[in-house]
Amino acid sequence: MNNLLIDIGNSVIKTAEGSRSNNLITKIRKKPYLKRDFKKEFSEFLISINFKTEFNLIGVSSLNKSNNLFLRKSIKKHFGKESIFINNKIHLPIKIEYTSSIGNDRICNAVAADNLFPGKNILVIDFGTATTYTLVSEKILKGGIISPGILTAFNSLKDKTSLKFSNISFPEKLIGQTTEDNIKSGIMNQTLIFCEYVINEIRKSHRGLKVIITGGFSEFMSNRSKLFDLTDRELVFKGVNLIIKYNENINKRINN
Range with lowest mean pLDDT among 98-102, 188-192, 197-201 = 98-102
DSSP assignment string, 3-48: EEEEEE-SSEEEEEEE-SSS--EEEEEEEE--GGGHHHHHHHHHHH
**Model pLDDT for residues 123-136, shown as the tens digit of each residue:** 999 999 899 999 99
* Mean confidence (pLDDT) of the chain: 92
Dihedral of alpha carbons 90, 96, 101, 104, sign: negative
Given strand 12-18, what is the order of strands in its sheet?
25-32, 12-18, 3-8, 58-62, 84-85
Closest CA to 6 of 92, 52, 67: 67
Options 7, 37, 105, 181, the catalytic residue = 105
CA-wise closest residue to 203 among 226, 224, 187 = 226
Write the pLDDT tens digit of every residue in 28-51.
999 999 889 999 999 999 888 877
Bridge partners (DSSP) of residue 230 are 212
Q: Does the annotation count 232 as an active-site position? A: no
Sign of CA dihedral 9, 101, 249, 72: negative
Tell me the backbone φ, ψ of residue 31, rounded to 5 degrees: -150, 120
- Assess contact for 199 and 209: CB atoms under 8 A: yes
Q: How much is the pLDDT for 256?
A: 66
